[in-house]
Amino acid sequence: MFKKLSAVILAFSIIFTGCTGATQTQLSAKEVMLEIQKQSLAQDKANFDMVGTFNMEAPDADQNDPNTAAVLNMMKDMKYSLTGAYKGLEAGDFAFSGEGSFEMNGITVKGSLYLDQEDLIIDYPALGKLVDIKFEELINLINTQTGSDVVSMDLVKKIAGDYKTVFAPKISDKFVENLPEEALELIPEYSFKFKDEEVKDKALKLVLNETQYQDLMMAVIKDLANDEEIYNTIAKYEIPDFPATFDEFKTKVNDALEDPKAKEQMEKAFSASSMNMETYYSYDDKYLPTMLNITTTQTTKVPTQEKEMTFTMSQDIQAKMNYDEVEITKPEITADNSMGIQELMMMIMGGMAQPQ
Q: Determine contact, residues 346/127, Cβ cutoff 8 Å.
A: no
Question: How many folded domains does the chain comprise?
Answer: 1
Query: What is the domain extent for residue 54?
Result: 2-353
What mean pLDDT, rounded, does the chain reach? Answer: 85
Cβ pair 172, 18 in contact under 8 A: yes
pLDDT digits (tens, 9 = 90+) for 168-208: 999 999 999 999 999 999 999 999 999 999 999 999 999 99
pLDDT tens track for 19-31:
444 455 589 999 9
d(CA 239, CA 256): 19
The stretches in the chain having pLDDT less than 70 are: 1-25, 62-64, 89-92, 266-273, 304-306, 351-356
Q: Could you give the CA distance from residue 150 to residue 118 in angstroms, rounded to a whole number?
A: 19
Q: How many residues does the chain have?
A: 356
Asked if 45 and 304 touch (Cβ cutoff 8 Å), the reply is: no
Cβ(313)–Cβ(54) under 8 Å? Answer: yes
Write down the pTM of the prediction: 0.81
* Phi/psi of residue 322, nearest 5 degrees: -145, 165
pLDDT 10s digits, 127-183: 999 999 999 999 988 888 888 888 888 888 888 889 888 999 999 999 999 999 999
Q: Please choose, from the candidates 128, 108, 103, 18, the residue with its C-alpha nearest in 3D space to the C-alpha of residue 52.
A: 103
| Interstrand relation of 119-123 and 308-322 (parallel, antiparallel or unpaired) | unpaired
